[in-house]
């Protein structure tokens, strides 16, 4: 058997400790599958005395993670600190410069700096691996980069954030408000104390930018991802969705269009008949459409110590085997800068919920705005209340252009027909 692959792990939080546990528990299995031992030689974290559920006494300890990049007895640096910049970026760049392979679960780092880091890794002749950065234990990076290598992918979409999926699932099952379910998710540890990255769609946007690069062979372009979260989804919207035969999911969607690459993260109305409509709780799912394989679906746990550590270790096994492949499936010099398809040119159907005063003429004003912007209404729902009271009115449209839909909503808002800004959710039938 060859010499051990020596690993330095930076960051000993949930995933870092989980990675140590997997490497220790599965040591014999991993050695058999990779042809050599995978051995942790050094770790880095700030608090040495913290109980992490694993024994760390036999490993060299460093408070400054950047020290791992210069150690002679480290072949691979595993970066599990997180964050797009700061120590995480410094460590990865230093490790590459020192000729060390890098494995990371850091989706923000790869989404914002992935193209540049891939170029540096190729120039240094080392691997940059990030299976754990997207969808936890689902091997979607390897699937796109290798399993679907014979296909031209036209579209990739999915549920990329377990926290949002958990919240939307519980809102549907309990009838509770977003705020109530978020508070419960925080108590259970499914949502962070500061949930902005999750509930505002930023986490999913990081992941979508990575998937789009892998799927389309383009530079990672996080700045071009249109991003909306789930804060404005109400219990009423969940109920209306059920009545209309839909489920509400926060989806990341990337696709090729005649105008360029479209990348967007936002709540969607998904028909109940589709498999992705039934991916509930903290689970993730990714769907890829290829020209030869057609539609493929990947489902699993998108976060947590076990699933994410499993993905980290899978990358280590590839390195131990000597399996080398460009970070995004093609040499970084071949990654193209594709034009961005403006969201205003997106075509689709829409769900809109208005809050209006129950008075004569309201529907005429709404209908006039729809007519003036060539938006065709498909259906309408209204729950009756006493005259003069506020009432929710829901309509769905036939396929139309996003720009026309936004202009229609602005016209309705300015007309005084509604008492508050309308809620719009895009309908995705796929």
pLDDT at 385 over 80: no
- Give the CATH H-level superfamily of domain 5-137+308-328: NAD(P)-binding Rossmann-like Domain (3.40.50.720)
Structure tokens at 146: 């290798």
- Give the CATH H-level superfamily of domain 140-301: Dihydrodipicolinate Reductase; domain 2 (3.30.360.10)
pLDDT (0 to 100) of residue 297:
97
CB 309 within 8 A of CB 302: no
pLDDT at 169 over 80: yes
Instruction: Confirm or reject CATH 1.10.10.10 for domain 344-427, answering yes or no.
Output: no
pLDDT at 153 over 90: yes
Domains 5-137+308-328 and 344-427 fall in the same CATH topology: no
Cα–Cα distance, 60 to 50 (Å, whole number): 16
Partners of 377 in the beta sheet? Answer: 397
pLDDT (0 to 100) of residue 322:
93
List CB contacts of 309: < 8 A, sequence separation 6 or more. Answer: 15, 18, 19, 21, 22, 132
pLDDT level of residue 361 (50, 70, 90 thresholds): confident
pLDDT (0 to 100) of residue 386:
59
pLDDT at 388 over 80: no
Average pLDDT (230-245) is: 95
pLDDT at 365 over 90: no
Residues 295-328: tens digit of each pLDDT: 999 999 988 899 999 999 999 999 999 999 999 9
pLDDT at 151 over 80: yes
Active site residues: 207
How far is residue 105 from each of residues 176, 186, 190, 197, measured CA to CA in Å?
Answer: 33, 22, 18, 16
Residue 73: how many CB atoms within 10 A of its CB?
12
Cα–Cα distance, 297 to 286 (Å, whole number): 6
pLDDT level of residue 356 (50, 70, 90 thresholds): confident
Name the least confident of 43-52, 255-264, 391-400, 421-430.
Answer: 43-52
pLDDT at 48 over 90: no
Arithmetic mean of pLDDT over the chain: 94
Average pLDDT (283-288) is: 97
Q: What percent of the chain has pLDDT over 70?
A: 99
**Of 417 and 148, the one with more pLDDT:** 148
pLDDT (0 to 100) of residue 55:
85
CB 154 within 8 A of CB 290: yes
Cα–Cα distance, 323 to 316 (Å, whole number): 10
Average pLDDT (350-357) is: 91
Residue extents of the structural domains in the chain: 5-137+308-328, 140-301, 344-427
Residue 273: how many CB atoms within 10 A of its CB?
10
pLDDT at 404 over 80: yes
Residues 404-410: contacts with CB under 8 Å, at least 24 apart: 404/373, 404/374, 404/375, 405/350, 405/373, 405/375, 406/344, 407/373, 408/369, 408/370, 408/372, 408/373, 408/375, 409/352
**Of 314 and 367, the one with more pLDDT:** 314
pLDDT (0 to 100) of residue 359:
75
Average pLDDT (88-114) is: 98
Query: Which of 245, 226, 205 has its CA nearest to residue 342?
Result: 226
Residues 187-205: tens digit of each pLDDT: 888 888 899 999 999 999 9
pLDDT (0 to 100) of residue 387:
63
pLDDT (0 to 100) of residue 46:
86
């Amino acid at each position: 058997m060859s010499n051990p692959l020596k690993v330095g792990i930076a960051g000993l939080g949930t995933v870092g400790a989980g990675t140590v546990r997997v490497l220790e528990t599965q040591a014999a299995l991993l050695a058999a599958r990779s042809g050599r031992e995978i051995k942790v030689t050094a770790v880095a974290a700030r608090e040495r005395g913290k109980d992490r559920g694993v024994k760390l006494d036999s490993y060299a300890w460093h408070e400054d993670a950047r020290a791992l990049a210069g150690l002679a007895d480290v072949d691979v640096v595993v970066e599990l600190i997180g964050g797009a910049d700061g120590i995480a970026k410094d460590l990865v760049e230093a490790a590459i410069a020192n000729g060390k392979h890098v494995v990371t679960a850091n989706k923000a780092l790869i989404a914002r700096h992935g193209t540049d880091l891939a170029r540096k890794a190729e120039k240094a002749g080392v691997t940059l691996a990030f299976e754990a950065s997207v969808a936890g234990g689902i091997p979607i990076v390897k699937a796109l980069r290798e399993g679907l290598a014979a296909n031209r992918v036209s579209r990739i979409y999915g549920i990329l954030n377990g926290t949002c999926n958990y919240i939307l699932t519980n809102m549907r099952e309990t009838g509770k408000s977003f705020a109530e379910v978020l508070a419960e998710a925080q108590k259970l540890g499914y949502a962070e104390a500061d949930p902005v990255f999750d509930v505002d769609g930023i986490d999913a946007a990081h992941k979508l930018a990575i998937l789009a690069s892998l799927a389309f062979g383009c530079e990672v372009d996080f700045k071009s991802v249109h991003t909306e979260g789930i804060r404005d989804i109400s219990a009423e919207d969940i109920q209306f969705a059920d009545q209309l035969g839909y489920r509400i999911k926060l989806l990341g969607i990337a696709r090729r269009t005649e105008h360029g690459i479209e990348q967007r993260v936002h709540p969607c109305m998904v028909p109940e008949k589709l498999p992705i409509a039934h991916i509930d709780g903290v689970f993730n799912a990714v769907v890829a459409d290829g020209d030869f394989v057609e539609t493929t679906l990947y489902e699993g746990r998108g976060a947590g110590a076990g699933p994410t550590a499993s993905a980290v270790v899978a990358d280590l096994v590839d390195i131990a085997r000597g399996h080398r492949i460009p970070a995004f499936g093609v040499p970084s010099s071949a990654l193209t800068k594709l034009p961005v398809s403006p969201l205003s040119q997106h075509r689709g159907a829409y769900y809109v919920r208005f809050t209006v005063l129950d008075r004569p003429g309201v529907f005429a004003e709404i209908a006039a705005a729809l007519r003036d912007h060539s938006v065709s209404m498909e259906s309408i729902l209204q729950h009756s209340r006493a005259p003069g009271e506020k009432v929710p009115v829901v309509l769905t449209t036939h396929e139309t252009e996003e720009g026309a839909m936004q202009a229609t909503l602005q016209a309705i808002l300015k007309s005084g027909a509604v008492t508050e800004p309308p809620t719009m959710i895009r309908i995705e039938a796929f």
